[in-house]
A and B are shown apart, each in its own frame.
Chain A
Amino acid sequence: MLRVDNINVYYGQIHALKDISLEVQEHEIVALIGANGAGKSTTLRTISGLLRSKTGSISFLNEDISRTEAYKLVSKGMAHVPEGRRIFLQMTVLENLEMGAYVNSTNIKEDIADVFDRFPRLKHRRNQIAGTLSGGEQQMLAIGRALMSHPKLLMLDEPSMGLSPILVQQIFDIIKELHAAGTTILLVEQNAEMALQVADRAYVLESGRIKLTGTGSELAQSDEIKKAYLGG
């Protein structure tokens, strides 16, 4: 479904991604894990067109997207939930969801009802200004908004960031549910333990390179990973 071939991304002089290649098959959950500054979010941003790679190619559904602008990818079926709960803080919950249907505005009402079924807490707060929601609710809203465009591939950037353990568990339950419903997911996480539990496959990034790759359970048992990311 998604194929990234040998991309190299620079921030000015800094070589942030070095020959990254990865693949996401249909109906998979693929996780990118690694420490702070390893290049996880950079990879995601390059895929979604917010950053450009100097070399290599990115293809989505057998179409080259390495030069496609970010906003066009939404209608192609790719949804990016950016890091740090980027919601429209001054709009209401409902308006945020309506914005999510910007490129695909048929059946808005049903889609909103679906999102509310999945996230009942949002339903109670539908007329509340999004900026007044709690962190967990904002993350749910960001995911809900992405779902409004009926994505084939959902890319989540650090969905657990800054959330309490209970909320992290809830977010990961939702990821599993979405996967069960047929959505392909590319997940960027610092919380390697949780990510490896849900992921079919995972890539481990270290200073801009892919260091290891394998199935979720393989990596969870690898000594190297245990030492580096899972606390012994």
Chain B
Amino acid sequence: MEKIKNLNKFTRTNIRAYGLIILAFIVLFPLQSTGIISNSISGQLVPICTYIVMAISLNLTVGFLGELSLGHAGFMSVGAFTGVITAICLQEVIPSAALRLLIAIIAGGIAAGVAGFLIGIPVLRLRGDYLAIVTLAFGEIIKNIINCLYVGVDSNGLHMSMTNAEALGMINGKLIINGPQGAVGITKIASFTAGILLILFALFIILNLVNSKSGRAVTAIRDNRIAAESVGISVTRYKLTAFIISAVLAGMAGALYAMNFSTIAAKKFDFNTSILILVFVVLGGMGNIVGSIVATALLYILPELLREYADYRMLIYAIVLILVMLLTNSEKAKQMRERFVYKWKKRLRKNNDQQEGLKNG
């Protein structure tokens, strides 16, 4: 009996999450392909998808593992540039854009996973504020390394340099990453469908992990580290696993994101981006996957919708943020909401009873 109840709770979340994404696709895809929604919004669809993946992957670290990471955009960056290099190198070899995109996304995920592993080893020894600061530092390090990275490809293969484009020593080669200007000459192969598929993949990974025995171990570590260790959970192993999975998904999102533009620079993935993703997660609710999806979609589209009020756009955005935080998290607001819901339910019941009474009488 108990098991069934638990299962229902999990399946309900799963159905809600998958359903929301599939519904969004069914509604938006025809609108986009027939050109009913405006170009500016239509152009935002892939970025929204990638940010949703960013938010749910960060939710794994922040919400379920309980560690504040401020360098999530760093993993996105690693994934983005690895993805771009892979896609450009394979341009001639693989003609199918969809297959190339898939390989680029996988490559981005693997590279970000390796970065997550290397960064995770020192970082996860820390806790709380210290961990947050160090992840922030690593995010900036990644940004600065890519900022002075030059990568090119010619008939001899890949060339890499940290000084300038000439130092690559290519003959008739193609420059892929041009230092501070970032990656240039990307063929835009990302599509809304790919974005939706990536979200579904990320949801599949995260929801299955969270509801598994390993997921329980991760939440147990968040709840009480010493107790977790005393029941036989390897704290280091599970922390690192969760951190790497989160990084891999961020890298995949980054690769998809980059493939939606013709050029992309490292400074796009700075501290502000990490914070933006964190805002989505906190606003949607820590450990609440569906919340992350909704919050990302709404907050990402809001500045676009407010474009006509150009001068007040960011002001309104900020006020909305503050109001939502207050309404969802202040004790008084919660009580008010509960009272309201209670009254409303009572009135509904009364009406029902009256109608029943009329019928019976």
In the bound assembly, the distance between CA atoms of A75 and B261 in angstroms comes to 53
The smallest beta-carbon distance between A188 and chain B, in angstroms, is: 14
Assess the B230–A82 pair: CB atoms within 8 A. Answer: yes
Tell yes or no: A146 within 8 A of B by CB. yes
Are B230 and A146 in contact, with the CB atoms below 8 A?
A: yes
Q: B214-231 interface mask toward A, CB cutoff 8 Å, 1 = contact, 0 = none?
A: 001101100110111111
Establish whether residues A90 and B223, one from each chain, have CB atoms under 8 Å apart when the complex forms: yes
A145 interfacial contact with B, CB 8 Å: yes
Please tell me if the beta carbons of B216 and A71 are within 8 angstroms of each other in the complex. no
The reply to whether B232 and A149 contact each other, CB–CB distance below 8 Å, is yes
User: Contacts A88-B220, A99-B216; is A74 near B232 (CB within 8 Å)?
Assistant: yes
Chain A interface main SS type: mixed
Q: How large is the interface on B (under 10, 10 to 19, 20 to 34, 35 or more residues)?
A: 10 to 19
A-B contact pairs, 28 of them (CB 8 A): A48-B230, A50-B229, A69-B234, A70-B229, A71-B229, A71-B233, A71-B235, A82-B230, A86-B224, A87-B224, A88-B219, A88-B220, A88-B223, A90-B219, A91-B219, A91-B220, A91-B223, A94-B2, A95-B216, A99-B216, A99-B228, A102-B231, A102-B233, A145-B227, A145-B231, A146-B230, A149-B231, A149-B232
| B229 contacts across to A, CB distance below 8 A | 50, 70-71
Partner of A82, one of B217, B219, B226: B226
Please give the distance in Å from A208's CB to the nearest CB on chain B: 22
- A74 pairs with B223, CB closer than 8 A: no
Nearest B-chain residue to A69, judged by Cβ: B234
Q: A100: CB under 8 A from chain B?
A: yes
Give the distance in Å from the alpha carbon of A71 to the alpha carbon of B234 in the complex. 6
- The verdict on A79 contacting chain B, using a C-beta distance below 8 Å, is yes
**A91-142 residues at the B interface, CB under 8 angstroms:** 91, 94-95, 98-100, 102-103, 142
Contact of B226 among A74, A86, A102 (CB under 8 A): A86
Contact B233 A89 (CB under 8 A): no
Closest 10 CB pairs of A and B: A74-B232, A86-B227, A103-B232, A88-B223, A71-B234, A70-B229, A80-B230, A102-B231, A71-B232, A86-B226
Cα A91 to Cα B233 with chains together (Å): 16
Interface assignment of A186: CB less than 8 Å from any CB of chain B: no
User: Which chain A residues lie closer than 8 Å to B233 at the CB level?
Assistant: 71, 102
Asked if A153 is at the interface of the complex by the 8 Å CB criterion, the answer is no
* Size of the chain A interface, CB-CB below 8 angstroms: 31
A81 in contact (CB, < 8 A): yes
Whether the pair B232, A81 counts as a contact (CB closer than 8 A) is: no
Looking at the assembled complex, report how far the CB atom of B43 sits from the nearest CB atom of chain A, in whole angstroms: 41
Contacts of B235 in A (CB 8 A): 71
User: In angstroms, how far is the closest chain A Cβ from the Cβ of B97?
Assistant: 46
Least distance between A87 CB and chain B CB atoms (Å)? 6
B217 shortest CB reach to chain A, Å: 7
B residues bordering A, Cβ < 8 Å?
2, 213, 216-217, 219-220, 223-224, 226-235
Tell me the bound Cα distance from A69 to B228 in angstroms. 13
Contact of A99 among B2, B226, B231, B234 (CB under 8 A): B231
B230 A70 Cβ-Cβ under 8 A: yes
Is B220 within 8 A of A75, CB to CB? no
Contacts of B231 in A (CB 8 A): 74, 99-100, 102-103, 145-146, 148-149
Residue of B nearest to A49 (CB): B229
B216: chain A residues at CB < 8 Å are 95, 98-99
Residues from chain B with a CB closer than 8 A to the CB of A50 are 226, 229
In the complex, what's the smallest C-beta–C-beta distance from A190 to chain B, in angstroms?
19
Most chain B C-beta atoms within 10 Å of own C-beta, residue among A86, A90, A146: A86
CB contacts (< 8 Å) of B232 on chain A: these are: 71-75, 102-103, 149
B63 to chain A, nearest CB (A): 12
Pair A102/B217 contact, Cβ less than 8 Å:
yes
Closest to A127 in B: B2
Most buried by B among A50, A71, A72: A71
CB distance from A22 to the nearest CB of B (A): 21
The distance in angstroms between the C-alpha atoms of A149 and B233, with both chains bound, is 12
Which residue of chain A has its CB nearest to the CB of B232? A74
One digit per residue, 1 when the CB lies within 8 angstroms of any chain B CB and 0 when it does not, for chain A 38-78 equals: 00000000001010000000000000000001111111000
How far, in Å, is A151 (CB) from chain B's closest CB? 11
Query: Complex Cα distance A142/B233, Å?
Result: 16
Residues of chain A within 8 A of B227, CB atoms compared: 82, 86-88, 142, 145
Chain B residue contacts of A99, Cβ below 8 A: 216, 220, 228, 231
Query: Taking the nearest CB of chain A, how far is it from the CB of B236, in angstroms?
Result: 9
Known A72-B232, A89-B224; 19 more pairs at CB < 8 Å: A48-B230, A70-B229, A71-B229, A71-B232, A72-B234, A80-B230, A82-B227, A82-B230, A87-B227, A88-B228, A89-B223, A90-B219, A91-B219, A95-B216, A99-B216, A102-B233, A103-B232, A146-B230, A146-B231
